[in-house]
Amino acid sequence: MTIPHTLTAPTSVPLATWTGQHADQVEQALAATGAVLLRGFTVSGPQQFRHAVRPFLGELLPYVHGASPRTPVTDGVYTSTEWDSTQDIPPHHELAYSPLWPARIAFYCAQPPALGQGGQTPLVDGRTVFARVTAAAGEIPDQVTYIRHQMGADGPGISWRQSFGTDDKDEVSRYCAEHGIDHAWLPGDTLRTAQSLPTAIRHPVTGEPVWFNQMHLWHASHGGPDREELWRDLFGEQMPMHARTGVGAEITTELLTVTRTVLREEAHQFDWQLGDVLLLDNMLTAHGRRAFQGERTILVAMGGPVTAADVKAVTFHV
C-alpha cells in the first residue's frame, strides 16, 4: 500500500467547503490508509487551516510534554519542528512517549521547500512495522521506559520550560502527577522525568496491532555510536534522553537495529506543494522529516486526546 492516499481538488475550492461535503470520503480513506493528502484546495493561512481540519481532529491539543522545539502560530496550531534543518528526523508516532497523545495530526504547507532541496515528510504504516519487527526481532519488551533530564534553560535538548510551556515548577509537578509521570527536581534547575508505556498497542477503532513507541529516537544510540559514547561519558545516568525496557533493562541492539531498518525501508514520501494539507491517524502512521536546504514552513495541529488507558497494549511475554 502506497501512502498517503491523495485527494485532489476538482476545482479551486476552499478546503473547508469541500471537506464539509465529502467528510465520509476523507474518513474512509483515513481509516484504510492512515494518511490522506488533500491537494489543490484553497487554504489561505493558519486560521483557514485550523477551521478546515478541526472537524477531523476533534478537540485540539496544546503541545505539552513535548520533545521538539515549536512556536505557537494560532490557537492549536504550531510550527511542525524547529530542529536543525541539516538533519533527518526519523519516522515516529507523535508523543508516543507521553501518557497523553493525539489520535490525529494535520500538517499544512505554508511554504514548500524548493524542489530537489529535501524537506519531505516520510510516512510509515505502523501495522507493517509491527509485523516486520515482531517477525525479525528476538526479545521484545512489553513496555518502554522513557527517561529524560531537562535543564531549565540552556542545555542539550529543549528545556523543561519549553516542554511544559511554563516557568512554574509547581504547575509542572501537577501535570506530571496527573498524568502518571514519575518526576524529581534535581540540583542545577534540572527536571528528571520517567514514564513507562506500551511498546505496541491495538488501534482503538480497528483493533489492529501497531508498533507505537519512540525507543529508536530516545535511546542513547540514536545519532550513532560516537554520540552515544560521548553522552554516556558526559552524563552517565543523567543523559538528556534515554530509553530502557519497562523493567529497567537495556533495550537490545538487535531490536533497535531492526526497528530503525524497518522504519527506513518502509518509508513513503512526497514533495510538498503550497497549500497541501496532510491528515494522519497518529496511531496508524508514523511521520518524519527529511533534511532540507533553504526555506520550508510546515504547520501542525493535533487533536483527539488518547491515553494509555484508552488502548489495549500488545503483550509479548506471558
Give 77-97 pLDDT, tens digit per residue.
Answer: 999 988 889 999 999 999 999
CA-CA-CA-CA torsion sign (83, 222, 175, 187) = negative
Instruction: Tell me phi and psi for residue 75, to 5 degrees.
Output: -55, 115
19: left (phi over 0), alpha (psi -120 to 50) or beta: alpha
List, for residues 276-296, the tens digit of each pLDDT value.
999 999 999 999 999 999 999
The confidence score (pLDDT) of residue 142 equals 97
Contacts of 95 by beta carbon, 8 Å cutoff, 6+ apart = 65, 66, 101, 102, 282, 302
Report whether 199 contacts 141 (CB < 8 A).
yes
Peptide bond into 204 cis (omega under 30): no
Quickly state the pLDDT bin for 1 (edges 50, 70, 90): confident
Q: Which CATH class is domain 5-122+268-304?
A: alpha beta
Domain with CATH 3.60.130.10 in the chain: 5-122+268-304, 134-260
Regarding the domain delimited by 134-260, which CATH topology (the fold level of the hierarchy) does it fall under? Double-stranded beta-helix (3.60.130)
List, for residues 8-57, the tens digit of each pLDDT value.
998 889 999 999 899 999 999 999 999 999 999 999 899 999 999 999 99
Enter the C-alpha cell of residue 141. 519488551
CA-CA-CA-CA torsion sign (252, 266, 143, 282) = positive
Gap between the terminal Cα atoms of the chain:
33
The answer on pLDDT for 318 being more than 60 is no
The pairing of strands 5-8 and 35-39 is: parallel
Quickly state the pLDDT bin for 154 (edges 50, 70, 90): confident
Distance in angstroms (rounded) separating the CA atoms of residues 46 and 53: 11
Distance in angstroms (rounded) separating the CA atoms of residues 126 and 267: 11
The pairing of strands 190-198 and 200-202 is: unpaired
Distance in angstroms (rounded) separating the CA atoms of residues 230 and 221: 10
Beta bridge partners of 264: none
Helical segments of the chain, H only? 15-21, 23-33, 46-57, 126-136, 160-164, 169-178, 215-218, 225-235, 253-265
Cβ neighbours of 26 (radius 10 Å): 18
Instruction: Tell me phi and psi for residue 19, to 5 degrees.
Output: -65, -30
The answer on pLDDT for 106 being more than 90 is yes
Residue 301: strand, helix, or coil: strand
